[in-house]
Amino acid sequence: MSSRKHRLSMPAHRGFSVVELMIAMVLGLVLMGGVIQVFLSTKQAYNLNEEMAWIQENARFSVGFMAEDMRMAGYYGCASRATSVANVLDDPDSSWVTDFGKGLHGYDGDANSFPSAVFPRPVTASLPNSLPRTDVFTIHKADLDNSFQVTGHNPNSAVIDVQGNHNYPKGTILIVSDCHHSAVFQTTGNGTNKVNHNKGNSVAPGNCTKGLGLPVICSANGTGYTYKEDAFIMRAIGHAYYIDTASNGVPALFRESLNTGGSTTTAEEMVQGVENMQVQYGLDSNGDSIPDRYMDADDISDAQWESDVVTARITLLLRSLTELANDPQDFTYMGTTYTPTDNYVRRVFSTTVKLRNRGV
Ligand SMILES: [Ca+2]
Ligand SMILES: [Ca+2]
């Protein structure tokens, strides 16, 4: 019995030959290499999918909130036509933020007149120089969600009484509107149930007159106008959208907003990955509110901004957060195909916005 057991266990002690071991090792390595290959390509596909989803989500969010904001550009209450709005701020054209005569306005990135001292732009050295330079647009409107009914107005003492307690600190730019007129002014008082519209520069930039009527005459009394109880006071909104580089080096969509309590602005980073923005404006030339041609901002006259611009087409170029691709990826933007010198993946998104306060 014991000898049989001994014979049976013999092969177990024989082991592998060196050749067998080497073959096994080589096979193992090949197998492992295959597994690593599959793992890496799965990981790459996963990263690509994840970043594409990130780009999609950012694009949807960017165009969504810009379109919503832009739709109400030029809304100054019941009387929104530029010809019925008296902007009594002192020297309102000196800065985009106080220029409430412009509900929607744009700056073409490729125009010599682009205000590069006011709006920063990202440096994207890995993109061809022929790519259009990023554009900027500004929006002015009244904040309907932040409004108070007028309960009385004494134009001589420059006091408007409102229903309830408002939260507008002294210096806040406000809009008062009934269905005939609107006026943009800075409140010069601290009262919680009244606002003051005195002339002077106790707040910056101040009001050039206390008269809220049209035409605006920059004198002590100017052109008087009395707002009645059908009027509302609303906070004035000023937004500028532009592209700059975020603190982590990624290009991003930024928004600069008018603050309360003065004419200062605060810049906020809105969405990362937005590398370039092109805005073209639809102009209606026959009064049917349907655009007949699209133009760049620098080709549009002041009069056309006020009367003819009825739509805007926003096109965004977004890129991945990391250089996902193995080599430079061509992309087509504004009708031209470009080859970058980096390995980011890019996508283009576009939307057209109809301005509600223009046309019929
Ligand atoms: Ca442009
Ligand atoms: Ca038309």
Task: Mark residue 283 as left, alpha or beta (left: phi above 0; alpha: psi -120 to 50; beta: remaining).
Answer: beta
Give pLDDT, residue 14.
Answer: 72
Sequence-distant (≥ 6) Cβ neighbours of residue 4 within 8 angstroms: none
Phi, psi of 255 (to 5 degrees): -130, 130
Distance CA 146, CA 251 (A): 33
In a domain, 69, yes or no: yes
Distance 308 CA to ligand 2 centre (A): 9
What angle (nearest 5°) sits at the alpha carbon of residue 107, between those of residues 214 and 348?
130
Distance 71 CA to ligand 2 centre (A): 18
Phi, psi of 311 (to 5 degrees): -140, 165
Q: Helix, strand, or coil here: 63?
A: helix
**Ranges of the chain with pLDDT below 70:** 1-13, 359-360
Give pLDDT, residue 43.
Answer: 87
> Which amino acid would we find at residue 341?
T
Distance 230 CA to ligand 1 centre (A): 42
Counting ligands in written order, the one closest to the CA of 289 is 2
Instruction: Give how many domains the chain has, as a whole number.
Output: 1
In a domain, 50, yes or no: no
> Which amino acid would we find at residue 49?
N
Could you list the residue range(s) of the whole structural domain that residue 109 is in? 57-354
In a domain, 129, yes or no: yes
In a domain, 222, yes or no: yes
Q: Is the C-alpha dihedral spanning 218, 220, 226, 227 positive or negative?
A: positive
Name the token pair of 184: 């943009």
Distance 309 CA to ligand 1 centre (A): 16
Distances (CA, A) of 246 to 77, 254, 255, 340: 35, 9, 12, 20
In a domain, 37, yes or no: no
Give pLDDT, residue 360.
Answer: 45
In a domain, 2, yes or no: no
**Tens-digit pLDDT profile for residues 69-108:** 999 999 998 877 777 899 999 999 999 999 998 899 999 9
Distance 216 CA to ligand 1 centre (A): 34
| Peptide bond connecting 205 to the previous residue in cis, omega within 30 degrees of 0 | yes
In a domain, 266, yes or no: yes
Distance 276 CA to ligand 1 centre (A): 10
Distance 68 CA to ligand 2 centre (A): 23
Distance 62 CA to ligand 1 centre (A): 18
**Tens-digit pLDDT profile for residues 102-150:** 899 999 999 999 999 999 888 888 999 999 999 999 999 999 888 999 9
Question: Which residue(s) pair with 336 in the sheet?
Answer: 333
In a domain, 164, yes or no: yes
